[in-house]
Chains A and B, each alone.
Chain A
Amino acid sequence: MDPILIKHVREPNSFTLDFYLQHEGYEALKKALTLKPDQIIDMVKASGLRGRGGAGFPTGMKWQFVDKKIEPRYLACNADESEPGTFKDHLLMERNPHLLIEGCAIGCYAIGAKVAYIYIRGEFFHAQQVLEHAIDEAYARGLLGRNILGSGFDCDVYVHRGAGAYEAGEETALLESLEGKRAQPRNKPPFPAVVGLYGKPTAVNNVETLCNVPLIVSKGPDWYTSLGPEKNGGPKLYCVSGHVKRPGVYEASMNITLRELIEGHAGGVRDGRTLKAVIPGGSSVPILLPDQLDTQASFDAIQKAGSLLGSAAIIVLDDTTCMVWLAENLLHFYRHESCGKCTPCREGTDWLHKILRKIERGDGQMRDLDLLSNISANIAGKTLCAFGDAAVTPIVTTLKHFRHEYEAHIKEGRCTVPADWRARMPVGAH
């Protein structure tokens, strides 16, 4: 499949309104404004578009659930892209911002919202500047603001900058942050579609999801579903990173296999190295092994293989990677990013990290492995949001597939897979 979403991103000035208008930009918005909002929701439902942020929930359903009896309603675009290994939304916002703005405007029209907030992570300051400039351009041409293209539809799009919190990527935590509070999740239900931003019905959609909406409106749901396997239609952006020759964002239909992505597009692991493991959907999902490379990279196929497509962040690890170190690295992340609202996650991630650090250092005992499993089981499923489950996944999955590495660390009292890219100082020395 030829790229659609990122077709022009390497061309000069691809982020400008003039360039976008020359490439059929805002045609979908024009068409959408001639349709009824319900017709757009039906189109998105028929297309089977699934949320690209991680959960893969059908977007049309989400929009239908938005309570249309209550005014005002809001659209919140999740541009907090913080899942380790994910960098696709970054590319879209920086090189194709008008596609996102068009998607926001159509989304607002479909759910009857007049305001969309794009919540962008604080670290993407350069992308935010591009996006804000693009929004100004759209206002100047009457593509946003009052009475868009003479249709009587009003829509404002604002960028809201976060300030460094992974948890803000969780939809209810994002809304809390947008309301000027700590990014901590809310209890669900009620879901944001009923009680969202400022207590009003709100649709929260990922950047890539909203970028797919103009395609569906202009080319139709049938075209969209024909692009991929059943229930996994449309173009998909894959972020390939780690130990590969050509890391980057690759666009493909979900018919593609992990092997084609890793060995084809990304050039495979570096010469002289062998593939050890693949994390197919960001740091929060279970590891797949080299013999599972021929799995189709679709939501359903990856789930069947025992993992999740998540945000399609494929992290490739070669034979120099110590799996105990990997778990320690990721638990450092989760320990730092735990929002602190639920006790099992706040305290548990710290305990897990301390134990892993001890094992990595060579001071571990065999009973620590049972302790890791025990603590993990007491976090997973016992927190308000999915963070708890995500945080223990690196441990559960490495213990399942690479328990011998943990045991070797404990028996030999040192890391058994030292790599030249690791710090020379022992773990925790600084």
Chain B
Amino acid sequence: MSFHPKMAYDATFHKSAREREDEGPPFAYTPENRARFDAIVKRYPPESRRSAVLPALYLVQHQQGYVTANGIRHVAELLGITCADVEDVVSYYSMFYTKPAGRFVLNVCRTLPCAVNGAERVTEALSAKLGIKPGETDPTGTFTLMEVECLGACDRAPIVMVNDAWHECVKPVDAARLVDDLRARGEIVLSGCHLVVEREPR
């Protein structure tokens, strides 16, 4: 009910009139993830269990690929906080997905040092190859293309973060090949962090 002159009494865009979003499938941690969760919670003072909300959400995302309302409820119950508290956190941080994402999430850094080294062209090449715009997932559900802000490896620009792994010094001409390589052989094709001198050359 609103007394605002421009909002009709039968307005359906009012929050209370909105239908509940899809809650996703029922969710509970697997025994392994539950054990991980129990170990993480011990790092924080007993009265501050809420501190574990970020690691707990990572476990949810790791288990089912994205964070659903049921996942949020599970975390809230385990930590003794409200669902709103957890949703508040999920909606703030950019690394939690609230919709299913592709098997490979291609995060292209777009901030200044990467951009002056051609990151915009890398995004264009990936976008053209996949036929999707940044922020979208391809119809097969294999790739999601994202533009993200500074990833903190500006000496190896441009950077593409694929899920949690890194691919460095990406040239626009090589970007399309990365898609084929990932599809064929998975994350093994990524360069990783160049600092790791122990790794066998690719």
Total number of residue pairs linking A and B with CB closer than 8 Å: 167
B96 at the interface (CB under 8 A from A): yes
**Given A91-B195, A126-B165, A160-B54, is A283 in contact with B152 using a C-beta cutoff of 8 Å?**
no
Whose C-beta in chain A lies nearest to the C-beta of B45?
Answer: A198
In the bound complex, do residue A180 and residue B197 qualify as a contact, i.e. CB atoms below 8 Å apart?
no
B112 at the interface (CB under 8 A from A): yes
- B contact residues around A249 at 8 Å (CB): 155
Chain B, range 23-68, C-beta contacts under 8 Å to A: 43, 45, 48, 50-55, 57-58
- Whether A87 and B155, one on each chain, are in contact in the complex, defined by CB atoms closer than 8 angstroms, is yes
Tell me if B101 is interfacial: C-beta within 8 Å of chain A.
Answer: no
For A84, the chain B residues whose CB sits under 8 A away are 111-113, 149-150, 154
**CA–CA, A337 and B93, complex, Å:** 10
Q: Tell me, in angstroms, the Cα distance from A313 to B113 when the chains sit together.
A: 10
Contacting residues, chain B, for A313 (C-beta < 8 A): 154
Q: How far is the CB of B148 from chain A (nearest CB, A)?
A: 8
Q: A11-B197, A87-B152, A421-B121 are in contact. Are A162 and B93 (CB under 8 A)?
A: yes
Please determine whether A126 and B112 come into contact, CB atoms closer than 8 angstroms: no
Given A123-B161, A180-B53, A247-B154, A315:B149 Cβ within 8 A:
no
Question: Are the CB atoms of B113 and A242 closer together than 8 Å?
Answer: yes
Q: In the bound complex, what is the Cα–Cα distance between A156 and B133 (angstroms)? A: 45
**B130: CB under 8 A from chain A?**
no
Contact among A123, A160, A332, A339 for B152, CB-based, below 8 A: A123
Q: Interface with B: A293-301, A400-408, A422-430, which one?
A: A422-430
Who on chain A is nearest to B55 by CB? Answer: A161
Within 8 A of B (CB), among A136-190: 156, 158, 160-166, 177-183
Whether the Cβ atoms of A423 and B121 lie closer than 8 Å is yes
Write the nearest CB–CB distance from A123 to chain B, whole angstroms. 5
Q: Is B102 an interface residue (CB 8 A)?
A: no
Q: How large is the interface on A (under 10, 10 to 19, 20 to 34, 35 or more residues)?
A: 35 or more
User: Contact between B111 and A9 (Cβ–Cβ < 8 Å)?
Assistant: no
A13 sits at the interface (CB 8 A): yes
Contact of A12 among B95, B117, B118, B198 (CB under 8 A): B198
Picked from A126, A164, A315, the residue with its CB within 8 Å of the CB of B166 is A126
Asked if A422 meets B155 with Cβ closer than 8 Å, knowing A85-B112, A162-B93, A164-B93, the reply is no
Q: What is the distance, in angstroms, from B104's C-beta to the closest C-beta of chain A?
A: 15
CA distance A82 to B121 in the complex (A): 23
Residues of chain B contacted by A179 (CB below 8 angstroms):
48, 50-51
Which partner residue on chain B sits nearest A72 by CB separation? Answer: B45
Q: Classify chain B's interface size.
A: 35 or more
Shortest distance between the CB of A81 and any CB in chain B (Å): 5
Scan B88-126; emit 1 where CB is below 8 A from any A CB, else 0. Answer: 110011111000000000000011110111101101100
Which of A156, A239, A321 makes the CB contact (< 8 A) with B155?
A239
A37 contacts the other chain (Cβ, under 8 Å)? no
Q: A232 in the interface, Cβ–Cβ < 8 Å?
A: no
Look across to chain B and name the residue whose beta carbon is closest to the beta carbon of A430.
Answer: B133
Which residues in A have their C-beta under 8 angstroms from that of B113? 84-85, 241-242, 247, 315
Residues of B within 8 A of A332 (CB): 110, 149
Q: List B contacts of A330 (CB < 8 A).
A: 111-112
Please tell me if the beta carbons of A163 and B133 are within 8 angstroms of each other in the complex. no
What chain B residues lie within 8 Å of A162 (beta carbons)? 54, 93
Contacts of A90 in B (CB 8 A): 152-153
A84 to B145, CA, bound (A): 21
Contacts of B166 in A (CB 8 A): 126
Q: A9 vs B155: C-alpha distance in the bound complex, in angstroms?
A: 16
Task: Contact check, A423 vs B154: say whether CB atoms are below 8 A apart.
Answer: no
Instruction: Tell me whether A329 and B54 are in contact in the complex, defined as CB-CB below 8 angstroms, given that A182-B88, A421-B118 are known contacts.
Output: no
The answer to the question of B21 belonging to the interface, with a C-beta cut-off of 8 Å to chain A, is no
CB distance from B70 to the nearest CB of A (A): 19
For the complex, give the distance between the alpha carbons of A248 and B154 in Å. Answer: 8
Contacting residues, chain A, for B79 (C-beta < 8 A): 180
Q: A156 vs B51: C-alpha distance in the bound complex, in angstroms?
A: 16
Question: Cβ of A86 < 8 Å from any Cβ of B?
Answer: yes
Residues in chain A near residue B50, CB distance under 8 A? 179-181
Instruction: Known pairs A12-B197, A94-B195, A241-B157; list 6 more (Cβ under 8 Å).
Output: A85-B112, A90-B152, A162-B54, A164-B148, A180-B54, A421-B121
Pairs A–B under 8 Å by Cβ, sample size 30: A12-B197, A82-B149, A82-B150, A84-B150, A85-B154, A123-B152, A126-B165, A163-B57, A163-B58, A163-B93, A163-B94, A164-B148, A177-B54, A180-B52, A180-B89, A182-B92, A239-B154, A241-B154, A242-B116, A242-B154, A247-B157, A283-B150, A317-B116, A326-B112, A330-B112, A332-B149, A421-B115, A421-B117, A421-B118, A430-B134
The 3 closest A-B pairs by CB, nearest first: A163-B93, A423-B120, A241-B154
